[in-house]
Amino acid sequence: MAVDTYALISTNDLKSWIGISAIDTSSDAQLEDAVDRASDMVEQYLDRHIVERTYREWIDPEGQRTIVAREWPITSVKTIAFGASDAMTIQIDNADDVLATVENDGSSLKFNRISASGVSSSASLAFSTYLTTSLLVDQINSSVAGFTASLVKNAYSYTLHRFGGRGLVEAVMNLTYARDNISEYRIEFETSRIHLMSDRFPNYRDDYRYTNTFPGSFQSVFIEYNAGFASVPDDIKQVTIDIAADLYRLRMEDLTKNSESLGDYSYSRAPTSERFVQTLERLIGHRNLR
């Protein structure tokens, strides 16, 4: 077992803090578990991810000029796209199928089919493997039984609009994609605010204060970007170490016992959950409060 790719500390960070030699591997499984659990606790409290990674996100712009991506700070933007155009069509080969549906969950196309004789089949095509709609169409036609696809526009597969299982028994399906990625915009990288400066297809309505706005339709803006820190900030790292160290030590303790007395000697301690909350509150300045 190894710690998660995006863990906030390493096993050696934890070993150094609690006084275990880096070459001592006897407790690595427990230490790695503590690292992962502590990292999860910190990120859940902060309501954000910390270590830099790639995100693909659909945003509800509500007709505004400024939108905000989910994660920050942004380090790079691959594309921002909106609007809708047809990319491909899908239809079934057998009109007597009882059920034939396609779903786009944002990372793959999923096919489900029940034939007239009651035979069920399914398939899934990952966008990470088929990055373009041309590749998707070719793969559907060559390997997904019961379905036929036609290409309208060769587009980036991840920009296909998402939807749940839609039926094809009585209709041909049109899959649309976010087409416009050349409009002018500005980015505030530290806060992930994105401001549209000009739009190829502006709105000129009298009741609009601005002529250039993002679309008002549901989840109409697609953004693929990198966000997070290349190196975990020191205060976040230290809090994660403190929590991981507590988790490691507490595995051998009776957590139901918060006080004890023996003659003139007595001690008490705060409940474990309260201690964790107090530790996490040291990071309130990093918390997602938007």
Residues 173, 97 share a domain? yes
Number of domains forming the structure of the chain = 3
Assigned domain for 244 exists: no
Q: What is the pTM of this model?
A: 0.85
Residue 211: the pLDDT is 64
Partners of 49 in the β-ladder: none
Which DSSP string do the residues of 193-218 spell out, in sequence order?
EEEEEE-SS----TT-S-S-----ST
Residues 155, 20 share a domain? no
Assigned domain for 236 exists: no
Residue 268: the pLDDT is 59
Residues 4, 137 share a domain? no
Residue with tokens 């001592």: 24
Domain housing 157: 85-177
Assigned domain for 288 exists: yes
Residues 167, 104 share a domain? yes
Instruction: Report the alpha-carbon distance of residue 86 to residue 233 in Å, rounded.
Output: 44
| pLDDT means over runs of 10, the chain (290 residues) | 91 96 93 98 97 96 90 96 94 95 98 96 98 98 97 98 95 94 90 85 52 81 97 98 94 61 62 84 87
Residues 129, 200 share a domain? no
Residues 215, 91 share a domain? no
Assigned domain for 234 exists: no
Residues 39, 7 share a domain? yes
Instruction: Report the alpha-carbon distance of residue 126 to residue 11 in Å, rounded.
Output: 33
Residues 186, 69 share a domain? yes
Assigned domain for 216 exists: yes
Residue 12: the pLDDT is 96
Residues 42, 4 share a domain? yes
Residues 111, 97 share a domain? yes
Residue with tokens 């169409």: 137
Assigned domain for 169 exists: yes
Residue 274: the pLDDT is 85
Residues 57, 47 share a domain? no
Assigned domain for 233 exists: no
Assigned domain for 62 exists: yes
Burial call 213-246: b when 16+ CB within 10 Å, e when fewer: bbbeeebbbbbbbebbeeebeeebbbbbbbbbbb
Residue with tokens 């806060």: 191
Cα–Cα separations (whole angstroms), residue 51 to 161, 186, 208, 247, 250: 28, 24, 39, 22, 27
Residues 89, 115 share a domain? yes
